[in-house]
Amino acid sequence: MRPNIVTEAGVQTRVGQWWNAIPFLTSSVVVVCGVIYLICLLTGYDTFYEVCFLPSAIISRFQVYRFYTAIIFHGSLLHVLFNMMALVPMGSELERIMGSVRLLYLTILLATTNAILHLLIASLAGYNPFYQYDHLMNECAIGFSGILFSMIVIETSLSGVTSRSVFGLFNVPAKLYPWILLIVFQLLMTNVSLLGHLCGILSGFSYFYGLFNFLMPGSSFFTTIESASWMSSFVRRPKFIMCTGGNPSSYIPTYSAQNTTSSGFSTGNAWRSLSSWLPQREASNQSSEDSRFPGRGRTLSTTRDPTAPAGETDPNLHARLLEDSSSPDRLSDATVNTIADSRQVPIANAAVLPQSQGRVTAPEEQIQKLVAMGFDRTQVEVALAAADDDLTVAVEILMSQQA
């Protein structure tokens, strides 16, 4: 008998739950990069000269395919593990907000812009008339880290945090976090592509400040792709996330000026999309509307005039509770008065009722009041019976049932 079978089953279950929680596109990128590395390891392919990002080959032979092949190849086991472990939290977070197809488009866009910036900077450095850096034109770069740096910039810029931790060792200002990572990686690993990481940071800031807004299509573009017949096998998968995601305010985060609105992508929508996933600097003063309880919430004061009679309610309470009595999603003045009065019924009145007068069903008047508030009559009768005809308790029971 194997004594550690329980421990092994627990680890396997946790790993399975972790993997199942990763959305479709992010897990697909992890699988593709991992499989490609294993194939290269088994076949002994380790030069990567035909697939890496090589500025001289792109310019001389117009090998644009290197823009995209370079990001899925990795040079070592540590290289692919580090990049994929960094991708899982950031990619999963963005995919849940944007949707699988939208994040795929963003990844391709970042890969393209990173490559173009890399090519421009290498060409300027290699062919300038003052001092030529020829090694930049012949640098063979591979790996997903350039896109990861772009995602780090987007996440850090929109998170609202003031500081970030570098590997849990020390904290740095959030605005400097991508640049600190760039320096740390360059000092710890001399064989990394400084220009590739730098272009990833520049693309991330360009995207965040709205320079790529004209390249971002509207939601109908992604909806059309998702509804295509050739996408049906992917859309049916449980980890696939639609662009709408059930949240109409889930848009790609972009930057825009305070008084400027873009087509489909606004800072307000972006902030609401990321607020549930990213840490915030401070809580918002305006609570968002809950779809279960239509209308805007009110904070009611519990203070009461001590000189007022016991059976009377504070008239200011009604004014704070109702902003527009004509609105169909708010209570009427008569209903609020009745509920408030029911809370102030003197206890002496309860003693006047004969003990032999046992009520089996709730009074029709109370039932009509709660039905007028929008509750189902059957649920109202059950709630009043459970609350012993206490109107306040019955309302609480009905509201908890809706929740």
Active site residues: 145, 197
Distance in angstroms between the alpha carbons of the first and the last residue of the chain? 49
Q: CA-CA distance, 366 to 216, in Å (whole number)?
A: 56
What are the backbone dihedrals phi and psi of residue 258, each rounded to the nearest 5 degrees, phi first?
-65, -35
Give 171's DSSP letter: E
Buried b / exposed e across 185-201, counting CB within 10 Å, b at 16+? beeeeeebbebbbbbbb
Question: How many Cα atoms occupy the beta-carbon half-sphere of 4 within 13 Å?
Answer: 4
User: Hey, how many other C-beta atoms are within 10 angstroms of the C-beta on 206?
Assistant: 17
Enter the DSSP assignment of 288.
Answer: P
| φ/ψ (deg, to 5) at 173 | -60, 140
Q: Which helix (H) or strand (E) segment is 156 a member of?
A: helix 145-159
CA 131 to chain centre: 46
Distance of CA 381 to the CA centre of its chain: 41
Tell me the C-alpha distance between 126 and 134, whole Å: 5
Rounded CA separation 247/171 (Å): 34
Instruction: State the Cα–Cα distance between residues 81 and 243, nearest whole angstrom.
Output: 28
Query: Can you tell me the distance from the alpha carbon of 73 to that of 88, in angstroms, rounded to the nearest whole number?
Result: 17
Distance from C-alpha of 233 to C-alpha of 231, rounded to nearest angstrom: 6
- In sequence order, which ranges of 44-76 are alpha helices (DSSP H)? 55-61, 66-69
Q: Could you tell me where the beta strands, DSSP code E, fall in 209-356?
A: none
With a CB cutoff of 8 Å and minimum separation 6, the contacts of 101 are 222, 225, 226, 231, 243
